Amino acid sequence: MEQLLLKNPLKSSALVMFDLDNLKNMNDTYGHKWGDFYIKEAVQRLNNITQRNKMLLGRRSGDEFVLLLYGFTSKQEIEDCMNEFFSYIKDNTIKLPDGKDYSIGISAGLAWIDSWPTDYEDLLNKADEALYISKFNLMRQEVFHLQTTLLTKRERRWVMNCRLRRLLLATLNLQ
């Protein structure tokens, strides 16, 4: 990523973290084969967000992905690109074994890259915080929500509480 941004004019760029929604439910209901299918279909859709020469996609963990968007003429162009992506996944469903059509659920958090070089970990944390808020909005039935990094104090507190809860649960599961 660093080499890519150093070689190309920065213009408007962003780092986006994605998390697949309902993967556990997919695995529990239809089996891990269908969970893997769900992941592959999501990746196929992520790969088509924009032209290949304006993106770099990577897998962070089981159902988390990081996308670098670069070389856009404006932040608005990136936002439009993301909105088109969410419309596309909403309109292009997958067929499940029981015959149901299902929209792949993806939450996203976006952090703007205003200058380069920058601290990658800081950038990743900003995108991760925005992702948490996106998940929170999803729980409030705001589907296909993109959250940018402008978080309120209340939202930052909520993110911290979620992270502490996840850490506590992981610690308890290790005992």
CATH of domain 2-150: 3.30.70.270
Could you read off the pLDDT of 11-31 as tens digits, one per residue?
Answer: 788 899 998 888 888 889 999
Task: Kindly report, residue by residue over 91-132, the tens digit of the pLDDT.
Answer: 888 998 999 898 888 888 888 887 766 677 888 888 888 887
* Predicted confidence (pLDDT) per residue in 30-73, tens digit: 999 999 999 999 888 888 887 777 888 889 888 899 998 888 88
Domain edges within the chain: 2-150
Does pTM surpass 0.85?
Answer: no
Listed in sequence order, the residues at least 6 apart from 42 whose beta carbon sits closer than 8 Å to its beta carbon are: 18, 20, 65, 89, 104, 106
Mention every residue, 6+ apart, whose C-beta is less than 8 A from residue 112.
12, 13, 14, 75, 148, 149
To which residue do tokens 């997958």 refer? 94
Point out which residues pair with 147 in neighbouring strands.
Answer: 109
Whole-angstrom Cα distance, residue 159 to residue 165? 10
